[in-house]
Amino acid sequence: MILPLTKDDLKVIGYSMSKIVYLVGVLLFLPIIVAVFYGEFDVIPFFLVGIAISFICGSLLYHFLKTKKEMELKHALVMAALIWLVAPLLASIPIWLANATTSYLDASFEGISGFTGTGLTLVTDIDHLSRSINFLRHFLQFLGDGIGIIVVSLSILGTTEMSSVLAFKGEAKDVGIRPSIVRTSRIIIGIAVTFLVIGTVLFTAAGVYAGLDPGTAVFDGLNHSMTGYATGGFSVRSQSLLYYHNVWIEVAAIVIMVIGALNFNLHYAVLGGKRKEILKNMEVRVLLLFLVVFGVFVSANLLQLNLYSSGEALFRKSVFHVISAQTTTGFQTVPASSLMFVWPVLSILMLSISMLIGGCANSTSGGIKLLRVGVLFKSLVKDIKRALLPKSAVVKGSFHHIDDVPLTDTVAKGAAVIALSYLILFSVGAMITVAHGYSLEDSMFETSSALSNVGLSTGITSPTMPATLKVTYMFLMWAGKLEIIAIFVLIGFIILALRKGIRK
């Protein structure tokens, strides 16, 4: 029997949120440093307003909802679902005040797209955006998707109670590197910062080689490294990576996108000396398989139409976009309108499937995740074997993911539930987009991009798109990031409160 909600349930959720709301305020100080460095003093008040509102909200939540009641799984999931809405809404205040978007709705879209690592943008003029606001957009992706806001809070606040473990799961980061959750979260940050530095060096070197001045190369490199590792896809340029017209910047992006799409556990194992794990891991094998299959098919399709005839062009356009889609990053080297008006439907559909599948579980990627797809495929093979063998035969299955994991029906069911939820949301999102007058293939592409937190766009996402579609995509980005279950629990929580009320 499901017990009715009590005021204490709300207090537990609100109190745990208060600390993260404070943290958002503290983290907004970082773009102020960037603003001072680049002499953008006129932007600083916008950040101060964001910081002040975050602190006021945090103080009110902390004061009125303070409780010592221990968090349960339902609280953790609802808290994770809510904080992934509240944090972007607060962080988007400076974006809105700086007139980077035409409305607060658009700024909120930008905030959610940033935090969830999606990369779809409604900023009206990226090329004239202040560097500090641009840094904020990229930093949100690194913080939200590259690391995870709850991971950051655990690492800084050092909370060790059970609630932390639960909140961690609510954020869809079920990483079990070390027994201590604080230690694990600090390792995740360590891995992220290490790859951020490597990515910045790669992008900067490629940028200088491409002809950028060193200052621009460092700034662009840092930001693209943040969003590349976070598989977020925001860019400091409206043309995304096409701006640079350089293959080495695209190679740097491919390296950092693939790194970001790999599992944290795998990073830890490889960095800890288990180098062979990268060859044995099922997820890595599935990733390579999909990259090869989609890469070959999309290239063949584009070659057939004689759109890109040279090997270099096929690599820089076809292979690059397959990697960008599969890793759920969203960097582009063709204009959005080329995807809508020039690329063939088959390529667009293949990229849509690639985006829906996404990268590795417990990585910065979105989508259904390669681990689940691998598990579902293996369990299908297991079921076929079971049907072919005599009744008395025992069919066992396993897969290698850091350790050898037995393939049980429970594991397969868990993967199937998430995959089915994604497909339902994808269908609903695509239908809503079609209802707004867009073609089916473009609607499928844009919906899978939003739901899987990718950011590739055919141009549907723009400041002029209908508000209802903006809200739909905001919901899809949010639900996709939290792997849907937390959203269902939140909806259940609300229905329970409405039906049975909230007791003392």
Binding site for other proteins (CB under 8 A): 40-42, 44-46, 48-49, 51-53, 55-56, 58-60, 62-63, 66, 68-70, 124-125, 127-131, 210-212, 237-239, 242-247, 307-310, 312-317, 333-335, 337-338, 340-342
Phi, psi of 9, deg, nearest 5: -60, -45
Give 70 or 409: the residue with its C-beta nearer to other proteins. 70
Q: Where in 367-436 does DSSP place strands (E)?
A: 398-401, 403-406
User: What is the Cα 236 distance to its own chain's centre?
Assistant: 18
- Three-class SS state of 441: helix
Q: Which of 347, 348, 368, 373 is nearest to 358 (CA)?
A: 368
One DSSP character per residue, 306-332 reads TSS-SHHHIIIIIIHHHHHHHTT----
- Coil, strand, or helix at residue 5? strand
**CB 53, min distance to other proteins, A:** 7
Least distance (Å) from other proteins to the CB of residue 224? 15
Question: Do residues 401 and 395 touch, judged by C-beta distance below 8 A?
Answer: no
**Looking at beta carbons only, is 68 or 396 nearer to other proteins?**
68
The single-letter code of the amino acid at 386 is R
Nearer to other proteins, 306 or 392 (CB): 306
Q: Which of 256, 258, 257, 280 is nearest to 270 (CA)?
A: 280
Shortest distance in whole angstroms from residue 41 CB to other proteins: 5
Instruction: Map tokens 């990483």 to a residue.
Output: 175
Least distance from C-beta 307 to other proteins, angstroms?
A: 6
CB of 343 to other proteins, least distance (A): 10
Question: In whole angstroms, what is the distance from residue 469 CA to residue 457 CA?
Answer: 14
The minimum distance between CB 227 and other proteins, in angstroms, equals 19
Which residue, 121 or 263, has its beta carbon nearer to other proteins?
A: 121
Q: How far is the CB of 416 from other proteins (least distance, A)?
A: 38
**Cβ at position 357, least distance to other proteins in Å:** 25
Rounded to whole angstroms, how far apart are CA atoms 364 and 455? Answer: 14
End-to-end CA distance of the chain: 19
Measured from the CB atom, the residue of 124 and 194 that comes closer to other proteins is 124
Residue pair 323/241 in contact by the 8 Å Cβ criterion: no
Nearest CA-CA partner of 257 in 324, 195, 350, 315: 324
Residue number with CB closer to other proteins (133 or 188): 133
- Give 128 or 396: the residue with its C-beta nearer to other proteins: 128
Task: List residues bridging with 502 in a β-sheet.
Answer: 5
- How many H-runs (helices) and E-runs (strands) does the chain carry? 24, 4
Pick the closer one to other proteins by CB: 410 or 464: 464
